[in-house]
Chain A
Amino acid sequence: MKTRAILAFAAAALVCSAETLVIQNATVWTMGKEGKFVGSVVITDGKIAAVGEKVMVPPGAKVIDATGQHLIPGIIDCHSHIAAEAINEGSVSVSAMVGIEDVVNPEDISIYRALAGGVTTANVLHGSANSIGGKCEVMKMRWGKDAAGLKFEGAIPGIKFALGENPKRAGNVQGGLGGGGNTRIPRYPATRMGVEDVIRTAFTEARNYQKTWKDYNEKKARGEAAVEPERNLTLEPLVEVLEGKRFVHAHCYRADEILMLLRIADDFGFKIRTLQHVLEGYKVAKEIAAHGAGASTFSDWWSYKIEAYDAIPYNAAIMEKKGVLVSLNSDSAELMRHLNTEAAKVMKYGGLSEEEALAMVTINPAKQLAIDNRVGSIETGKDADLVLYDKNPLSNYTKVQKVWIDGNQYFDRDKDVSGRAALAAEKKSLEDKEKEESRRQGPSSRGNGGQPRRPE
């Protein structure tokens, strides 16, 4: 009976977000200075209004009794490819003109499933088919909103780079479809040297482009005759990188290529914000830390290709201990649903504490994406992006019960389970209706020579 009462409150919260909600008696993993304790969180206007072992329950607030349950900040996946209708523009070596923002698919069921795994924010990246890929988008998993409604407002935009096997594969005819997707005609580069060359050339062009526009604007300001230069949507994101307005998220594996990329960045005077995958990061952790790049890696995935042979499950822990800001990501719609247990693995491989482990999927990726002023921990003033588990979030047996984003409830396990029968009935009735109609009308008599409706 008690759980039913909680459900009723939750349903009300779904409808009205502006009201105040209090989650009481939970084990609160703040991931902030206040650590972990049994207490309460107050949510007002989508923000965390108060956190503590004892808080005042504002009058009129809805109260959820979470005794025995665990509350954590929403999980952040620093590397995802869900909710997009295109991933790779693999036809060219530099595809910076394309962006996830143009192809967001807010109806991708993976969003809902990510929520069911406790993820509230994801960095949705272009693929790794080319040395410089497309623009990325940081999204909140606001299931039910449109494309614009998913966008993490104000997050600094990113761009995908990729080193190694994937971007050079398209240069080899025998390389197959894996990375390029459009590789019947070999596409430069075919080697790691070529990858470096592509990136250096692109930034040289971007510098020239930046200067061309600067010169033009100065001439115009002086009232001199000048011909307007072309806008170049491929180079503009790279100028933003040079100006520190766009983060570089670089797919990489091997230690040598990691150092190569850091050298390019130093030469051109920009920063690599995160190294993605970075499976050999443990070999060059000091250099990564010195550059100030974050590292977003897998827990223990390895050997799935040659450049992943030297991966070790201690990678995350070693980099962390060498002073690198480390997160664990999914790169997969499936893995995304259990990033909490991915985090737990660094306790076994590297001996990190529970909270150090959970930080790798909450506050650390928030810092890497520079959204830690808004999310990543349960602290007063931050967005009320919260996940309620029935058990310790690092346990194999734990299940997500409820998920809030901006104080709005987007997932409720009980409601999901109880709603399935209604959906099945709705489906059945539509199927029956269609069968009945086709029985009445006989076969379709479209005069299209028996072609199926959709040419594709």
Chain B
Amino acid sequence: MKSISSAAVAATAATVLMAGLAFAEPPGTVAIRNARIVTVSGPIIAKGTVILRNGLIADVGENVQVPADAWVIEGEGLTVYPGLIDGLSTLGLGSATAAAGGRAAGATAAAAPHSNGPEDRPLTTSWLRAADEVKTSDHRLELARNVGFTSAVTFPKKGIFAGEGAVINLGADRDADMVIVPAAGQYITMTTNSFGGGFPSALFGTIAYIRQLYLDAGRYQRVKAQYDANPRGLPRPEYDRALEGVIASPRILLPAENIIQISRMIKFAAELKQKTILYGLDEGYKAADLVKASGLPVLVSLRWPEKPRDGDPDEVESLKTLELRDKAPSTPAVLAKNGILFAFYSDTIDQPRDLFKDVRKAMANGLSATDALKALTINVAEIYGVADRLGSIEKGKIANLVVTSGELLQERPPVKMVFIDGVKYDPAPEAAAPGAGGGRTGGAPSARPQGDIN
């Protein structure tokens, strides 16, 4: 098996060049045979074959015929998983801008034009679409691929109505080819205006603004429909891009970390009558009944609360704080036990490899390996309504796979290669600096075969 990684290293220089040249090549046919296949949607296949053709999973099973034109990867000792999906990220949007805001709930946005009320649409860019902004050049895509991520749901994150997220693949020849679903949901935070920025300056101002915007959006649609039906004699409805933005969103994401926010946002979602995903869930371990009753799916931040690293050593912490740090990683197990649809997201963890330590922590707190894997694959797909094309190894789905030499969910996942739209990417060697390797190595039949591929 060693030959794979050494070949990858050797091929790195050529790879970088090829990635630039190989645009127009259609993805070919690849067969991974005699591998252990964790389909997620069905039972584990101890020894089977996956066929990838034209960017899709053409077949999977124990007794699958390898097509004559296929590149064959000998899968002995390898395990094939569906590619991992980050349920809420800024991947593809550039780390410097998008990720800088951090966990937006509670964060204060940068200075904006002074706002005198909801009518000024403060802190709103609801019309921004991640799908229009994603770039293959974001170096973090590679870091994420290196540890088995092939897709993400990525969002603009600044402001109260930050914009429309997109389900994307973490690699393609052209920026637009990364996009799987261009409208995944409107990212909402409880941000307030900073000093001097005007309305809203407090949490209840933000909530009131969101409420007012949805009232306005409802009327906007009715008045426009009335006008379109018979414009004669009626005043022309004013175009409002803030309303257009929220109307175009198939769902909203509301922040809910502690149980007070969880309860508040469940109530708010019902009031707004919007299809909703809650994100955060630090105190989800306390809120299983509430969440279950609401029927809302949730995204659990993998950024477990930690003792502040540079905090005052003499500070006396409250029992509540200590309890939160102790119990937060048990949230996924509690949600799983209660049959609540949940998925993980990376939050502002910048090094994707560090996520696995956090996943392991959830597993140490009672989450099964199966449920952990679902929370990084099929559950994300279900939450965003793309389970018909992503999240498991099934015939006809997008050929996004991760191939490992052992269990994937370890602190250092032993990723050997990933496939995105059927195109193979090799992970960079552990020590390499970001951007120094791990590029696309072919996958098109015309590309020069490498040592590890027959």
Contacts and interface: CB of A to CB of B under 8 A. Distances in A.
Interface of A: 85-92, 95, 97-100, 102-107, 134, 146-148, 181-185, 225, 227-228, 230-231, 233-234, 423, 426-427, 430-431, 433-434, 438, 443-450, 452-456
Contact of A97 (B106, B212, B234, B311): B212
Nearest to A87: B202
A98 B208 contact: yes
B47 interface: no
A447 B354 contact: yes
A227 B226 contact: yes
Contacts of A97: 117-118, 205, 208-209, 212
Nearest to A184: B196
A288 B212 CA distance: 36
Given A185-B196, A452-B308, A102 B354 contact: no
B348 A455 contact: yes
Given A427-B322, A434-B325, A453-B303, A88 B208 contact: no
Contacts of A183: 196
A99 B203 CA distance: 10
Contacts of B263: 146-148
A214 to B, nearest CB: 17
Interface in B184-205: 193, 195-205
Interface of B: 101-103, 106-107, 114-118, 193, 195-205, 207-209, 211-212, 215-216, 219, 222-223, 226, 233-235, 260, 263-264, 267, 303, 305-311, 317, 319-320, 322-323, 325-326, 348-351, 353-354, 357
Contacts of A227: 223, 226, 234-235
Given A91-B200, A91-B205, A453 B322 contact: no
Contacts of B102: 454-455
B309 to A, nearest CB: 6
Nearest 6 A/B pairs, CB to CB: A184-B196, A447-B351, A455-B102, A86-B202, A98-B204, A182-B201
A214 B218 CA distance: 20
A453 B204 contact: no
B118 A106 contact: no
B130 to A, nearest CB: 21
A454 B301 CA distance: 13
Nearest to B218: A231
Contacts, number: 165
A92 to B, nearest CB: 5
A91 B264 contact: no
B430 to A, nearest CB: 13
A103 B351 contact: no
A105 B260 contact: yes
Contacts of B310: 452
A162 to B, nearest CB: 15
A98 B226 contact: no
A134 B202 CA distance: 11
A435 to B, nearest CB: 10
Given A85-B203, A230-B216, A430 B322 contact: yes
B199 A89 contact: yes
B204 A102 contact: yes
A86 B192 CA distance: 11
A148 B196 CA distance: 33
A95 B202 CA distance: 11
Given A227-B234, A430-B326, A455-B103, A134 B319 contact: no
B203 A433 contact: no
Given A147-B264, A452-B308, A454-B103, A427 B319 contact: yes
A158 to B, nearest CB: 15
A182 B234 contact: no
Contacts of A447: 349-351, 353-354
B305 A453 contact: yes
Contact of A89 (B204, B222, B233): B204
A185 B309 contact: no
